[in-house]
Amino acid sequence: MPADPEPLWVEVNAWYLRHGRDLPWRTPTASAWEVLVSEIMLQQTPVARVEPVWREWLERWPTPAHLAAVSPGDVVRAWGRLGYPRRALRLREAAVAITAEHGGEVPRTEAELLTLPGIGVYTAAAVVCFAHGERTVVIDTNVRRVLARAVGGVALPAPSLDRADRERATAQVPADRADAAVWNVAVMELGALVCTARAPRCGDCPIEHRCAWVAAGRPVYEGPAHRGQAWAGTDRQCRGTLLTVLRETPDPVSDADLRRAWTRDEQQRLRCLDSLVADGLVEPLADGRFALPSGS
C-alpha cells in the first residue's frame, strides 16, 4: 500500500525559503498596518510599482491615525499613478474607522476586517495571515492559477473565483499555523515568479514533477473566455486623464483646462467628471474650478 503523497506545501515552502523575494512588507518586524497598506496597493498592481509608493506612505503615515488625519486630496495625490485611485480613498476611510472604532489597531479577525472599506475576502485573509500569523485560506489570482494547474490539470482557472478554487485551496493549507502562513505567501510567490499566466517557467518549478497540468501535456485553456479589458476611449481612460490633470498641480483647475485634456467626447467628459465628484475623487469649487478633495 503506497504512502500518502507528500503534501504540496512541503516542496513549495522549501522553494519559497530559497527563492522568495525580500519585500519590505514581508520582514518579521512589519506592522499589521504596513501589511494592510501593501495589500491594498497590490490589488491589481504589480510589486515593482507598489514598492516605492509603499515606502513613501509608511514614512509619512506610519500608523492608521496618521493617515486618518489627512485630507482625501493628500491621499489621492500621494497615490500617484498606482491606478484605481478609489483604493486610496477607501484606505484612508479604513484608517479612520480603525482609529475611531478599533483603538488605532488593525483588527485581528477576518470578520472585523471585512467591515472596513476596500477590504474584501482576499485582503481580510491576507492581513490575518501575513500580519497576525493566523492559519486561514488566502486565495488570490496566483493561488487560483497554481492550483488550477497543479491540482486541476488545466491551464487557467475559470474567469471568476468559484467553488473549485475554494475547495482546492482549502485542501492544501497545512494544519500547522506557521506552516500555513508560509504556504499562503509561498504559493502566491510561485504564481508570481514561476507559474505565471502567459509563459510559465515549468523548468524552475518545485512541483513540476507532480503537476497535473504538466502530466496532461500542458493542454490549452478550454473554458469560457476571460474578458479583456477595453481601454481606448473608455470612461476609465477619461477619468484617469482628468484626474491626472488635477493630481499634477497643487492648484485648482479650470473647466477649460479639463476640456483641453479630453477633447474626443464632451458628453463623456462631463459624465466622467460627475462620476469623479460622486466618488469623492474630485471636488467642485464655488468659482467653477475643480480640485482634489480637501474635506473629510
Partner DNA sequence: CACTCGTGGGA
Partner DNA sequence: TTCCCAAGAGT
Which residues sit at the interface with DNA, rule CB under 7 A? 23, 25-26, 38-39, 42-49, 81-86, 90, 117-124, 126, 140-142, 145, 159-160, 162, 185, 188-189, 191-192, 196-199, 226-229, 231, 234-237, 239-241, 243-244, 275, 281
Considering the complex, what minimum distance in angstroms separates the CB of residue 186 from DNA? 10
Considering the complex, what minimum distance in angstroms separates the CB of residue 103 from DNA? 21
The residue (of 177 and 226) whose beta carbon lies closer to DNA is 226
Cell numbers 512541483 correspond to what residue?
207
The residue (of 50 and 151) whose beta carbon lies closer to DNA is 50
The residue (of 13 and 123) whose beta carbon lies closer to DNA is 123
The residue (of 176 and 235) whose beta carbon lies closer to DNA is 235
The alpha carbon of residue 226 and the mean position of all alpha carbons in its chain are separated, in whole angstroms, by 19
Q: What's the CA gap between 282 and 242, in Å, rounded?
A: 10
Q: What's the CA gap between 133 and 40, in Å, rounded?
A: 18
C-alpha cell at 90: 477607501
Considering the complex, what minimum distance in angstroms separates the CB of residue 286 from DNA? 25
Q: Nearest to residue 172, comparing CAs of 154, 188, 197, 151?
A: 151
DSSP 283: E
Considering the complex, what minimum distance in angstroms separates the CB of residue 229 from DNA? 5
Which residues carry out catalysis? 39
Q: Nearest to residue 67, comparing CAs of 19, 21, 100?
A: 100
Q: What's the CA gap between 130 and 143, in Å, rounded?
A: 15
